Amino acid sequence: MSTPKLLLVEDDTALAELLEYRFASEGYEVRTSADGDEALVMAAEETPDLVLLDWMIEGTSGIEVCRRLRRDKATAHVPIIMLTAREAEDDRVRGLETGADDYVTKPFSPRELLARVSAVLRRVRPALAGETIETGDIKLDPVAHRVERRGRSLQIGPTEYRLLKFFMEHPRRVFSRSQLLDAVWGTGSEIEERTVDVHIRRLRKAIAFDNARDPIRTVRSAGYALEPV
């Protein structure tokens, strides 16, 4: 899974370190700069997934950084959350008008900022916020109805898709044919149990990949299970 990359622009060293630590421990990759111009260079070097921008930094002002980020095509669509002083409503409004996506007023708790960051990422890049299911090397995006393995997208039929999705929602667990019929075909479907085998085979074929190991395990006289590769 890709770890979201944050760019933190904050000249209060103590606060910066605190945040860096918290975000890192939540699985984010954080790069920090205390200076507006330096931050712009860093953003140009490696486009971050989200920018945390203190409004009151020395040198190039926050609002100017925001504007320049928006102007450059590479960073024009990177979400920006600004960190502002509580009182300055004007700043906040101006920030939103300039193109920031959001703000958090100081003092804030790291926990709150985390929730905010994740909410914004969820909006902008669902895949980063974990709306997709990942099992081993298979990724399934329910919103886009798309399945890929090792980055390559797979061609997969409707029933196989539902079957795979069900398996991925409950990895490692063994399901009997009748359980699968209930879960995937719907309760009370009058379908031959053997038919499940056929769809398992079709699913296997659909997700087969070069010589990668088959992630679907047959449990003799019990059913099938998906084992993350």
Residue where the block lists tokens 């980020």 = 69
| Residue 194 binds which entry of DNA, a copy of itself, none, CB below 5-8 Å type-dependent | DNA
Binding segment (CB under 7 A) for DNA, from list 62-70, 123-131, 134-142, 221-229: 221-229
Least separation in angstroms between CB 198 and DNA: 4
| Residue 208 binds which entry of DNA, a copy of itself, none, CB below 5-8 Å type-dependent | none
Q: According to CB under 7 A, which residues from 35 to 74 bind DNA?
A: none
Least separation in angstroms between CB 90 and a copy of itself: 9
| Residue 111 binds which entry of a copy of itself, DNA, none, CB below 5-8 Å type-dependent | a copy of itself
Strand 80-85 relative to strand 216-219: parallel, antiparallel, unpaired?
Answer: unpaired
Least separation in angstroms between CB 30 and a copy of itself: 20
Residues at the contact surface with a copy of itself, assessed by CB under 8 A: 79, 89, 92-93, 96-97, 100-102, 109, 111-112, 115-116, 118-119, 123-124, 141, 143-146, 157-158, 172-174, 219-222, 225
Residue 112: which residues within 8 A CB-CB, separation 6 or more?
A: 104
Q: Which is nearer to a copy of itself, 96 or 191 (CB)?
A: 96
Least separation in angstroms between CB 227 and a copy of itself: 8
3-state secondary structure the chain: CCCCEEEEECCCHHHHHHHHHHHHHCCCEEEEECCHHHHHHHHHHCCCCEEEEECCCCCCCHHHHHHHHHHCCCCCCCCEEEEEECCCHHHHHHHHHHCCCEEEEECCCHHHHHHHHHHHHHHHCCCCCCCCEEECCEEEECCCCEEEECCEECCCCHHHHHHHHHHHHCCCCEECHHHHHHHHHCCCCCCCCHHHHHHHHHHHHHHCCCCCCCCEEEECCCEEEECCC
188 binds DNA (CB under 7 A): no
| Residue 79 binds which entry of DNA, a copy of itself, none, CB below 5-8 Å type-dependent | a copy of itself
Least separation in angstroms between CB 206 and DNA: 9
221 binds DNA (CB under 7 A): yes
Binding site for DNA (CB under 7 A): 157-160, 185, 190-192, 194-195, 197-202, 204, 218-223
